[in-house]
Amino acid sequence: MITAHDGVWGVYVKVMETGEEFLLNDGEYTAASCFKIPLSLYIYEAAAEYKIDLDTKIAFAQEDWEGGTGVLQATKPGTEFSVSELVALAMRESDNIAANMLVRTVGKDELVAFYSACGATVLPLEKNVSSPREMGVFLERMLSLVAKDPAHYGELLRHLFEHDSKNRIAARLPASVQVFNKVGSWPGVVNDVGIVVTDRCTYLICVMSKGTGPTELGEVAISDISLKVYEHIVSRIHTAKRMPDAVGRKILNSVF
């Protein structure tokens, strides 16, 4: 199915209830805005360890300016935002300036050390690259932390849930299925990584690409991939007689 679409497509899937994994064409891909997931995860972990205060104010500096996605391009230098506000902007609005302010504040060396500690070998800094499997590592870590401390880490899930780019992984899935995702786009790059929660199971799906055509066609490709994965998982797991309740459903009940 993927060969019908332009470009190279990497896909990682993991079913949380069974541990089953699927990996296709893993490798180095431009992460684009998907890197804002591990960035935000690091900040919330640092906050839990009292290394960062989410209420700390950060002043916008001219060096933080960047075009593309976001709402802060017209912000005047010196305008202050709290760390939590910047995380919300980076995750919900995919704001590049907010992400730059956070990276400047926490430091690139600290982020690289964190990514390495998570098991990442393709680090999304400098060249801003990652891989489908490694994006899955970050999402799985987030789920684990939300399960342990929903009051603190649940905010990250809410950001992903209320992010308005639902025209890729979520586009063709039933309305009853909940999707927590983050998209990334760049010329020739169309990505979407997320957590999908059905009534009976929870799975991670990370789709990254390179050398694609127009963004709109890439979005169709991801929606095709997502639907195929969903149909396959549902055909097996939803008909199983002894499947436990969805891991994600339990987590969601503690967050929302």
Q: Tens digit of pLDDT for each residue in 91-118?
A: 999 999 999 999 999 998 899 899 889 9
Q: How many CB atoms lie within 10 A of CB 140?
A: 16
Is 252 a residue whose pLDDT tops 80?
no
Which amino acid would we find at residue 49?
E
The CA distance from 227 to 220, in Å, is: 11
Backbone angles phi, psi at 19, to 5 degrees: 80, 0
pLDDT, average across residues 15-41? 94
pLDDT at residue 201, rounded to an integer:
86
Is 213 a residue whose pLDDT tops 80?
yes
Q: Which residue is associated with the tokens 């935002």?
A: 81
pLDDT band at 34, cuts 50/70/90?
A: very high
Is 122 a residue whose pLDDT tops 70?
no
pLDDT, average across residues 33-37? 95
Domains with residue ranges and CATH for the chain:
2-255 (3.40.710.10)
pLDDT, average across residues 42-68? 95
Is 123 a residue whose pLDDT tops 80?
no
Is 244 a residue whose pLDDT tops 80?
no
